Amino acid sequence: MSNNDLIKWVTSDVDFYDLLGTHFEAPETEIRRAYRKTALKYHPDKVGKDFDPAKYELFQAAYEVLIDPSLKSQYDNYRNAKILKKRANDLFDSKRKQMKEDLEAREKNGFSGPSKRPRNEDIHSESELELKRLAEEGRKRRAARAKLVAENSAPTQAPEKLVTTPAHMAEPLARQTEEDEIERLEKKIREVADAKAKRRAERKVKRTVEDKTASLKKDLNTLKEPNSTEEPATSKKNSPAHKSSSERKPDFSVTMARLKAAQQSRLQSKESKQE
């Protein structure tokens, strides 16, 4: 194959070292020896009717890439980037799994925690801070992963039969599904936290209204109490006047007339006794 034909193979996802039965640090002589030994598995003269042209083409391309210093350097760079990306993905997957489990546990418990706990704002604040921290970590991991994938993206692609497989296609889809699930959990937990904050604010407003109502009632009762205590005194003061007005005093002229009549009656009685 010419170098132009081999360029497309430097971005192959197939491990050429494993295919030839050698290792990454093997010198050219060892690569040639491994090629001659492994060729027995793919050469048409050796396998007969089991010959696979696609596998043989891939085997030949692997050998020619690895013995060409320039092509080998390009392939090694791409291979190393792919290995680093896989390690990063494994690390992200581990942290993502832990984060997902944490979010699912929080969603299940609804931030309830122990049944008996002090009612203060510190616990709620800690839950909100932890939720924000987890959400921020998730965003950072997604951004870092997207950046890493963009940096290590291949400029060209190998033939479809060699580059992609159903497993490779399913892995990004599974990751995306997991990312969507994490976002859904984050959103649901935020909704739960917002609903609790709303209910707490409503209870606070209700308590404030009840306290103000009780205070107003107390003030009204305080204003009414002096009137009720003064009322008996007022009634006592007004009672004699009312009684005196209802009972009329005897007229003075009538009294004098009665006195004169009584005196005259005594005089007449005295005169009759003298006779």
pLDDT tens string 193-232: 788 888 889 888 888 888 888 888 877 777 766 554 444 5
pLDDT at 196: 81
Residue spans of the chain under pLDDT 50? 113-120, 154, 156-170, 228-231, 233, 242, 245-246
pLDDT at 30: 93
Q: 3-state SS string over 173-229?
A: HHHHHHHHHHHHHHHHHHHHHHHHHHHHHHHHHHHHHHHHHHHHHHHHHHHHHHHHH
Show Cβ contacts of residue 24 under 8 Å, excluding neighbours closer than 6 positions: 17, 76
Task: Tell me if 82 sits within 8 A of 164, measured CB to CB.
Answer: no
Encoding tokens for residue 30? Answer: 């060892």
Composition of the chain by helix, strand, coil, percent to 5? 85, 0, 15
pLDDT at 115: 44
Complete DSSP assignment for 107-158: HHHTT--SSS----HHHHHHHHHHHHHHHHHHHHHHHHHHHHHHHT--SS--
pLDDT at 32: 92
Residues 95 and 264: their CA atoms lie apart, in Å, by 133
Residues 78 and 61: their CA atoms lie apart, in Å, by 16
pLDDT at 160: 40
Task: Tell me if 63 sits within 8 A of 35, measured CB to CB.
Answer: yes
pLDDT at 225: 62
CA dihedral sign of residues 254, 260, 262, 268? negative
> What distance lies between CA 130 and its chain's CA centroid?
9
pLDDT at 53: 87
Task: Tell me if 34 sits within 8 A of 22, measured CB to CB.
Answer: yes
Pick from 65, 204, 238, 60: which is nearest to 121 by CA?
Answer: 204
| Residue 142 Cα distances to 138, 139, 149, 224, 252, angstroms | 6, 5, 11, 69, 116
Pick from 99, 96, 76: which is nearest to 12 by CA?
Answer: 76
Show Cβ contacts of residue 51 under 8 Å, excluding neighbours closer than 6 positions: 42, 44
Query: What amino acid is encoded at 63 in this protein?
Result: Y
Query: What amino acid is encoded at 213 in this protein?
Result: T
